[in-house]
Structure 1
Amino acid sequence: MTNESFRFYIKVRTALSIPTRVIYDELNSVYGNEAPGLNTVERWSKLFRDRREEIEDKARPGRSITEITTENIKQVHLLIDDNPYITIEDIQEQTDLSHGTVQRIINDHLKLQKIISRYTPKDLTDLQRAERACPDASLLTIPSIEPKRTRKVAKSLPRYVHYFTMNYEQWRKFYDRKIDDVYSGWGDQLMPHFTQLKIYCTILFRYHHTRKNQSHKKNCNLFSATGCCKHRKCPVTIEIEIEKEPKHKGDPYVFKVTVVGDANHNPKKETAARQLTGARREAMAKRVHQIGALGVFEHNVRFADEDLLREGNFTEIPSLDVLKTAKQQYNKKYRLDEDCFKELRMYGFFTRFTDYASKCFKGENFQTPLRTDGFE
Structure 2
Amino acid sequence: MGANTSSKPPVFDENEEVTFDHFEILRAIGKGSFGKVCIVQKNDTKKMYAMKYMNKQKCVERNEVRNVFKELQIMQGLEHPFLVNLWYSFQDEEDMFMVVDLLLGGDLRYHLQQNVRFQEGTVKLFICELALALDYLQGRHIIHRDMKPDNILLDDHGHVHITDFNIATILTKGMQVTTIAGTKPYMAPEMFNSTKSTGYSFAVDWWSLGITAYELLRGRRPYHIRSNTSTNEIAHVFRTATVMYPAAWSKEMMSLLKKKGRLNCDPTFELEEMILESKPLHKKKKRLAKKEKDTNKSCSSQGCRLQKHLESLQRDFIVFNREKMRRHHNEIQENITLTQTKDPEEEDNQNNNL
Query: Smaller-chain TM-score range?
Result: under 0.3
Q: Which has the greater radius of gyration?
A: 1
Larger relative contact order (CA 8 Å, sep ≥ 6): 2
